[in-house]
Amino acid sequence: MGRQFFVGGNFKMNGSIKSVTEIIDNLNKAKLDENAEVVIAPPSLYLLLAREHLRKGIEVAAQNVFDKPNGAFTGEISAQQLKESGITWTLIGHSERRVILQEDDAFVASKTKAAIDGGLGVILCCGESLEQREAGKTIEVVTTQLKAVADKVKDWSKIVIAYEPIWAIGTGKVATTEQAQEVHAAIREWLKKDVSSEAADKTRILYGGSVTEKNSPELAKQADIDGFLVGGASLKPAFIDIINSNSA
């Protein structure tokens, strides 16, 4: 069954009103692959700016969401607040939040459930450190992260998984095409065994980790790679080429 190609752009804590507006203008004017689903995740301050000015058909994601609907949680944003503002997706579980802000698997799972219950789509990130890869624990680490979510969420139709090896994020190092495909295939096998055959067939699995317009066409050809979660390159004109890499 064909899964729709998906490309997300994670701006992280980068950009200004001027630069984000320029990125949006470039996307609005570009000829993008009509079969690709495109979502950008600017810093929270620019979410409404992006939603207001982006053309129809390109969605906006928050970079984070809290697991409670409201209350005394200074600095947090709820799924309901995002949904009301026309923000239809959120990133959850990015390694920078897991590592720097110490978000554990249980918290990531709780946030994922809250986001889905609140009507958002979730780009669920998972990935291993260099030490874990060298110890041969890649699949164990990634499936443990995903299992925490599966324990709380039964419907995976609104989840897109992003496999992002931590050692390849912003380092210029990229998993080889074979390494990436191997992990994607293992994730799909895990979905089949631990969630359902339908989830395995339909869930899109993205690759993230120093994706560029140079390596994206080859990665896009792999059977279990259904798109990309792009970091630094999403701030550059080359993001357009990455979006179009499945039709290259």
Q: Which of 37, 59, 94, 103 is catalytic?
A: 94
pLDDT in tens, 85-128: 999 999 999 999 999 999 999 999 999 999 999 999 999 999 99
DSSP per-residue codes, 176-234: -HHHHHHHHHHHHHHHHHHT-HHHHHH--EEE-SS--TTTHHHHHTSTT--EEEESGGG
Is 164 known to be catalytic? yes
Q: For the residues 167-171, what does the mean pLDDT come to?
A: 83
Domains and CATH numbers, the chain: 6-247 (3.20.20.70)
Q: Which of 59, 96, 103, 164 is catalytic?
A: 164
pLDDT in tens, 194-236: 999 999 999 999 999 889 999 999 999 999 999 999 999 999 9
Please tell me the pTM assigned to this model.
0.97
Is 94 known to be catalytic? yes
Distance of CA 206 to the CA centre of its chain: 7
